[in-house]
Structure 1
Amino acid sequence: MSELPKTFDPAEIETRWYQHWEEKGLFAPERPGADPWTLVNPPPNVTGSLHIGHALDNTLQDILVRHARLKGKDARWVVGTDHAGIATQMVVERQLNAKQQKRTDFTREEFVAKVWEWKEESGGEITQQLRRLGCSMDWANERFTMDEGFSKAVLKVFVELHRQGLLYRDKRLVNWDPGLGTAISDLEVETVEVKGSFWHLRYPLEDGSGFIQVATTRPETMLADMAVAVHPDDERYKALVGRQVRLPITGRLIPIITDEHADPALGSGAVKITPGHDFNDFEVGRRAGIEARDMLNMLDAKANITQTADGLIPADLLGLDRFEARKLVVERLKAEGFLVPHVDKEGVEHDSEPRTIQTPYGDRSGVVIEPWLTDQWYVDAATLAKPAIEAVRSGATKIVPKSWEKTYFNWMENIQPWCVSRQLWWGHRIPAWFADDGSIYVAESEAEAQAQAGEGVKLIQDSDVLDTWFSSALWPFATMGWPDADVKALGRYPNDVLISGFDILFFWDARMMMQGLHFMKEVPFKTLYLHGLVRAADGQKMSKSKGNVVNPLGLIDQYGADALRFFMAAMESQGRDIKMDERRIEGYRNFATKLWNAARFCQSNGIGASSTIEPPAAELAVNRWIIAETVATVQALDLALADLRFDEAANTIYQFTWSRFCDWYLELIKPVIQGEGGVPATGAGADETRSVAGWVLDQILVMLHPFMPFITEELWSKMGAREHELIVAHWPMADARALDPEAAKEIDWLIRLVSEIRSARTELGVPPSAQLELHVTEASELTEIRLRAQAKSLTRLARLSEIHLKGSVGIGVVIDDAQIGDLGVFKTAQKGAAQVVVDEDTFVLPLEGIIDFDAERARLTKAIAAAEKERDGLAGRLNNPSFVERAKPEAVEKARADHAEKAAEAERLSAALARLG
């Protein structure tokens, strides 16, 4: 046994223990014959740094993997980073810009070499930060989505999907980010409300006989209009359908067509159709028989005006930025009489009508996204989604919380083709080669493509790379060595559980389901756990712009990783977001300190490491009770973790450690293990108690380890000689045979009696130093037995001088200083006394001369009135619909909490007044 320092210093032990665990390979210990248990970490971007969401996500994963390891399983937590195509290329390009260089100053190969150089020097900072959090990952087998083995898997999947007709090249509209110069997915688009304008335009009929009116928020796109649509049932336009209008500015003729997309109730009921620059219009155009190759495209990759196929856009518009072009187009429409003015409420005319417009922005570039017509590679997601839908319906994969199933089904059943190509240089280059005649050859290598094309055919590889999410969708099996290794035979696939934020359910989780089922013929994970977001204390979403982002590393520096981890677990309630509360983190740091001090108390009283996994033999009720409580805690903890109830699991071990062990058990055993004059007590009872206390502390350290790995490992090492580190110890046995109902009832009775006496003392203003007599009238035989057995603990914990016990025949005994003997006549309790009732027994505490009864009654009466007044005032607010409906949710929640607090206070004080009679 090594003596513990007086103060608990997280910083000192965290670095030391993490380095020790990693150097000794304890995150992936060799366990031949053990059941495999696998969890894969959502690979963070190689450019990333630890944020509070990572702290939550990885804490939950670490709890499960440490628990599985302690249960004796061959537990592996697969770790790695994602090459993060867009983000990484942006980082390196910014570095070049700082040197007055740009990407195009280099060849593609030179630029990619610079990215690899950056990756080796600066990438992966987040992996060091995950170590700070205590994540017990299999670092020896760390993966990267661009490493050689992983890239082999990516190429194989692309080629196989193409061979099967599930991956193809097509011309469609994409979300185009002009700032990045690449297509992005729907999931990478952020929609923002922007104050904009609504312009009303007149399109003249070809013969000059009239106009048809349309409206738009993007008047510049009229340069590429290809039709005007009206609803087939709209009587106003029956005679115009099939006729043509002449577009202002370009003079091009376009038809008036029918389509149900046009809503007769909105505006004029006529809609301009620009299939090359609007997703809805694209579908209208296709229904009208316009092929994608014939749709007009009026923008280049930088969203500047370019000439369309008909060559009719005026030269002075060409090359203009889309928003500059908008101004000039509006000016021309107005000058030529095609702009319909908007008249406001005061009768004043304006060029446009003010509107709040839902505007799409790129989540990385911050630039307005353009729907852009271009050739891209697509995956037939609808076909791949069907088995993934059935897997969840059948229960092959369970989604927790179950409420997310509806969202999953809705998205998967309406899934669109997945655009998987990106116009970048960094990433998995698409394994497709083009010939001069337009033929495309898809193969895992250029040599194989050349063999397909034949000798002498010149081939050029596609310059695009794959969407990052395409490669990360293979994470559960490609990280295990597929396609070279049979990962199913290794027992590493499917993974046991996947934990992720709900915000990447479609980015990543659903795509892993699709690819895993297609290539492995089995679900990638048995359970998918979706946690919420960590929000600011006021419930707002954290963002840099709001200045409410919390740095988890700063919290670790201040409170220690264990405290932050425990906070995350304790607050993680299925289906709910977490509100940041630094006071709670500080509270869990105090919890760690309490455990530290409890271990120091044990050391100072001869209590050390246990030598047995099974509970020691015990005769004393207090020891039988704590053994049973320990076993019950193991059972509850196992059940909570099996159900992924992290908050319940954390609360279970917290309450047992703080309340049952520290506050009660250690206090109850002091009379047994502490002798006179500071000399430890000896004897069978003391030896038994030390053995039991050491065993219970060991079980606490093991159960608490998944949540608080650092302090538990430190205490484990200091309490005595061990065969192994705590991280690879044995999880406690939940043996129901150790449960002892009789001992539990006796100690529970003692705790309730002490608690009631303590409450009475506090509520009635009894000085802490005052020792009271306790009188028991008409005690049952069982109560008498318990009083005699627990006299020492009762007098000490309740601060009693004497215990007077009256028997049924009027013969009393006094338990004085824990010595039992006949006193003869029973002392009748004085008139001024407080009563405490526990079960069927009434206990009397004489208080004459100790408190001023009249003053105490007056104090309590006044306090009760104040509490009731506040209670009733809050009830009035809560019963007011106006307050409940209009106030902020957090204000209503606080009012309810305050009302409950005041109601409980009034009830407690009233009970105290009643004690005085």
Structure 2
Amino acid sequence: ATGALGALKYGQLQIIPERFTKIYNEWLEGIRDWNISRQLWWGHRIPAWYCDTCGQITVAREDPPVCAHCGSGRIHQDPDVLDTWFSSWLWPFSTLGWPDDTHDLRRYYPTSVLETGYDIIFFWVARMVMAGIHFLGIVPFHTIYLHGLVRDEQGRRMSKSFGNGIDPIDVIEQYGTDALRFTLMTSSTPGNNTNLSMNRIVGNRNFANKLWNASRFVIGQTEDIAAGVPPFDSLKAHTLADRWIISRAERLTSSVSRLMDEYQFGEAGRQIFEFIWSEYCDWYIEVAKMQLQQSTKDRENTAQILRAVLDRTLRLLHPFMPFVTEEIWQHLYADTPPDQRPASALIIAPWPEMAGEEQATRIDAAAEEQFGLLQEIITRIRDARKQAGVEPGRLITVILAGGAKSGLLKQQATLLAQLARTEAPRIERRLATKPEQALALVAGGVEVYLPLTGMLDIQKELARLDTEIEAVRTAIQRSKSMLNNPMFVERARPTVVEKERDTLAASLDTLAKLTSRRTELAG
């Protein structure tokens, strides 16, 4: 126990989450004698033989024919078996051939990370540490990652008496292994229990389907375009959307790699999910459909970006969803000669490298901000169409007062019209008079007007403006409270304080525009 305590104290061992170090230490500091015999029908029989003649005990690795003390053949073996944990504490090295000095033992011991449940931190974890130090002189692993327990949707433990058990085989047959695996990996944080929701499993099955369908589109729509899957670092951006998706993929790689190193697997998986579902599928692929209809050079460049970003995200997602990603990856590289592939299988392909200083240009903050503005405008228009009951196929009129952002909006007018389902947008720096009988929106400082003649309920629009004005006023009050608090202004980082001031200024500007619009609409 002293060695196991010292390993944690002096940094040879770390426990994630750290709060469980207290439990580990308490068990070892209060350790008691271990009764290793059990009266069970299974297990390793205790290797001790009792002599009926002299009463002595013979302990041997091989079954002895006679008593080691008097030579009598009247001996019988102890009927008990060893405690399960007595065998299990040898697991890190007995599986590698110990006590023999094998190649596997030299190559793979000590291991690196142990992943197990927090409920057996002493029964198994601490005992493995003690055994490794005692028999081989070194801890069996450097990191202990503790997961929580899986509960039902109400947070109850699964048991026969409750009748709430979930058979993973049944779940796998219905929704797939990847869906269950992804759900378990992303539904909790280290050391916390998980309430297993079938709805979440269904959602992750849908995520796997969405990835599969998106991959079919990419591979199918670009199969007549040569160049295979280019290295990510060789990509060239021709459009704002290209710059945006390359930058977002680079940020994702850095963030996921950092989270994996910190053992924050759940958050890493959630970020990959959000990128694939929303940014790659819902946004870039929709833009790519337009770009694939343009010149040969644009088609080739778009195809390369689609493939390279898909390749990168498959590598990031593979630890979470190994089966569907491997299948897609093999299709993605189907036309690439074996000697030109990064690996024969995705499971052994290199992990994407994080951007270093020499790759800093791959992260394009300006492109992210500009495309983010377009996303906000398009989303607001889509939401407004839905609320007003506009038919999906109908093109509507849109007027934008963009101020300093008018140049960007004019450059991206075709994209705006296509994705928001509008006629060619009318874009001005500012409007001398506001359009009457129009739905008014504000997105990123841009005023958006949708003249929906005959489809706009004035009273409903006034109610919507009232709700939005109230939300903005709440945000203003919050920002003012923070900025009027000396503790916040003096102790927070200057960048945080300045960001809050910018947020307040933006909220005040939005409030003025919304209030003005309400006055005009009501008058």
TM-score over 0.5 for the pair: yes
- The one of 582, 588, 592 equivalent to 2:198 is 582
Among residues 369, 372, 380, which one is paired with 1:756 in the alignment?
Answer: 380
For residues 630 and 614 of structure 1, the distance between their equivalents in structure 2, rounded to whole angstroms, comes to 11
Distance 1:446 1:548, change over 3 A: closer
Structure 2 counterpart of 1:244:
none
Aligned runs of 1:324-335 on 2, under 5 Å? none
Question: Shift in Å at residue 400 of structure 1?
Answer: 1.2
Residue aligning to 1:832: 437
Alignment of 1:514-525 (within 5 A): 514-525=130-141
Q: Are 2:384 and 1:771 equivalent residues in the alignment?
A: no
Q: Give deviations 1:192-217, integer Å, cap 9, x for gaps.
A: xxxxxxxxxxxxxxxxxxxxxxxxxx
| SS of aligned partner of 2:142 | strand
SS of 2:319's partner is coil
SS at match of 1:650: helix
C-alpha displacement of 1:561: 1.0
In structure 2, which of residues 344, 349, 361 is the aligned counterpart of residue 729 of structure 1?
349
TM-superposition CA deviations, 1:497-534 (whole Å, max 9, x none): 11111222222112111111111111111111121111
Structure having greater relative contact order (Cα 8 Å, sep ≥ 6):
1
Deviations for 1:300-326, whole angstroms, at most 9, x for unmatched residues? xxxxxxxxxxxxxxxxxxxxxxxxxxx
The offset of 1:611, in angstroms, is 3.8
Q: Which residue of structure 2 lines up, in the alignment, with residue 843 of structure 1?
A: 447
1:859, CA displacement in angstroms? 6.9
Report how far residue 456 of structure 1 moved: 6.0
Deviation string, structure 1 residues 533-561 (Cα, Å, up to 9, x no partner): 11111111110011111111111111111
Taking the TM superposition and a 5 Å limit, the aligned residue runs for 1:747-896 are 747-777=371-401, 779-780=403-404, 783-806=405-428, 829-839=434-444, 841-847=445-451, 849-857=453-461, 860=464
Partner SS state of residue 583, structure 1? helix
**Cα pair distance change 1:827/1:793, threshold 3 Å:** farther
Residue 231 of structure 1: aligned partner = none
State the identity %: 37
**Amino acid of the structure 2 residue aligned with 1:531:** H
More displaced stretch, 661-670 vs 728-737:
728-737
* Aligned twin of 1:565: 181
SS at match of 2:237: coil
Any idea what the Cα deviations from partners look like across 1:47-87, whole Å, max 9, x if unmatched? Answer: xxxxxxxxxxxxxxxxxxxxxxxxxxxxxxxxxxxxxxxxx
Q: Distance in 2 between matches of 1:469 and 1:406?
A: 21
Distance, in Å, in 1 between the alignment partners of 2:261 and 2:420 is 40
**RMSD of equivalent CA atoms:** 3.1
- The separation in 2 between residues aligned to 1:537 and 1:456, in whole angstroms, is 62
Structure 1: give runs of 5+ residues left out of the alignment: 1-384, 675-680, 809-825, 868-906
Looking at structure 1, the residues matched to 397 and 40 of structure 2 have their Cα atoms a distance apart, in angstroms, of: 84
What is the TM-score normalised by the length of structure 1?
0.47
Alpha-carbon distance between aligned partners in 2 of 1:457 and 1:606, rounded to the nearest angstrom = 81
Alpha-carbon distance in 2 for matches of 1:759, 1:853: 16
Q: Quick check: which has more Rg, 1 or 2?
A: 1
Please state which structure has a larger fraction of its residues in helix: 2
Q: Secondary structure at the match of 1:550?
A: coil
Q: Is the 8 A contact 1:772 1:845 kept in 2?
A: no
Greater percentage in strand: 1
Aligned to 2:495: none
Partner letter of residue 701 of structure 1? L
In 2: Cα distance, 1:836 partner to 1:862 partner: 13
Structure-1 separation of matches of 2:191 and 2:118: 10
Query: Counterpart in 1 of 2:2?
Result: 386
- For 1:791 and 1:464, locate their aligned partners in 2 and report how far apart those are by CA, in whole Å: 81
Report the residue type matching 1:739 in the other structure.
I
Task: Give the Cα separation in 2 of the matches to 1:488 and 1:395.
Answer: 26
Q: Which runs of 5+ in 2 are unaligned?
A: 339-343, 472-510
User: Does the aligned pair in 1 maintain the 2:462–2:518 contact within 8 Å?
Assistant: no
Q: Would you say 1:473 and 2:89 are equivalent positions?
A: yes
**Aligned-partner Cα distance in 1 for 2:114–2:138:** 15
Moved more, 462-471 or 422-431: 422-431
User: Which residue of structure 1 aligns with residue 258 of structure 2?
Assistant: 639
Residues 448, 523 of structure 1: alpha-carbon distance in 2 compared, 3 angstrom cutoff: farther
- Letter of the 1:721 partner, please give it: D
Which residue of structure 1 aligns with residue 477 of structure 2?
A: none
Residue by residue over 1:6-33, the C-alpha shift from the partner in whole angstroms, topping out at 9 and shown as x without a partner, is xxxxxxxxxxxxxxxxxxxxxxxxxxxx
Match of 1:714 in 2: 327
User: Is the aligned partner of 1:510 residue 2:126?
Assistant: yes
Measured in 2, the distance between the counterparts of 1:598 and 1:582 equals 24
- Note the alpha carbon deviations across 1:218-260, whole angstroms, 9 max, x for none: xxxxxxxxxxxxxxxxxxxxxxxxxxxxxxxxxxxxxxxxxxx
One-letter amino acid matched to 1:619:
H
3-state SS, counterpart of residue 116 of structure 2? strand
Q: Distance in 2 between matches of 1:686 and 1:785?
A: 25
1:848 positional shift = 5.0
After superposition, where does 1:598-747 map in structure 2 within 5 Å? 598-606=214-222, 610-612=229-231, 614-674=233-293, 681-719=294-332, 720-722=334-336, 723=338, 724-736=344-356, 737=359, 738-747=362-371
Residue 610 to residue 827, structure 1, CA distance change in 2 (3 Å): farther
Q: For the residues of structure 2 that align with 1:741 and 1:545, how far apart are their CA atoms?
A: 56
The TM-score normalised by the length of structure 2 is: 0.80
Closer, same or farther: CA 767–460 of 1 in aligned 2, 3 Å: closer
CA distance, structure 2, for counterparts of residue 448 and residue 745 of structure 1? 82
Q: Given that residues 439 and 461 in structure 2 are in contact (C-alpha distance below 8 angstroms), is that contact kept between their aligned partners in structure 1?
A: no
Distance 1:584 1:615, change over 3 A: farther
* 1:856 CA drift (Å): 2.8
Please tell me whether residue 404 in structure 1 is matched to residue 20 in structure 2.
Answer: yes
2:150 partner letter: V
Label 1:447 to 1:658 Cα distance change in 2 as closer, same or farther (>3 A): same
**Structure 1 residues 671 and 420: alpha-carbon distance in aligned structure 2, compared to 1, 3 A threshold:** same
CA spacing shift, 1:430–1:848, aligned 2, 3 Å: closer
Residue type of the alignment partner of 1:725: A
3-state SS in 2 of match to 1:498: strand
Q: 2:55 aligns with which of 438, 441, 444?
A: 438
Cα distance, 1:772–1:837 mapped onto 2, change above 3 Å: same
Question: How far, CA to CA, are the matches of 1:746 and 1:425 in structure 2?
Answer: 69
Instruction: State the alpha-carbon separation in 1 of the partners of residues 389 and 265 from structure 2.
Output: 40
Question: In the alignment, is the contact (CA less than 8 A) between 1:625 and 1:744 conserved in 2?
Answer: yes
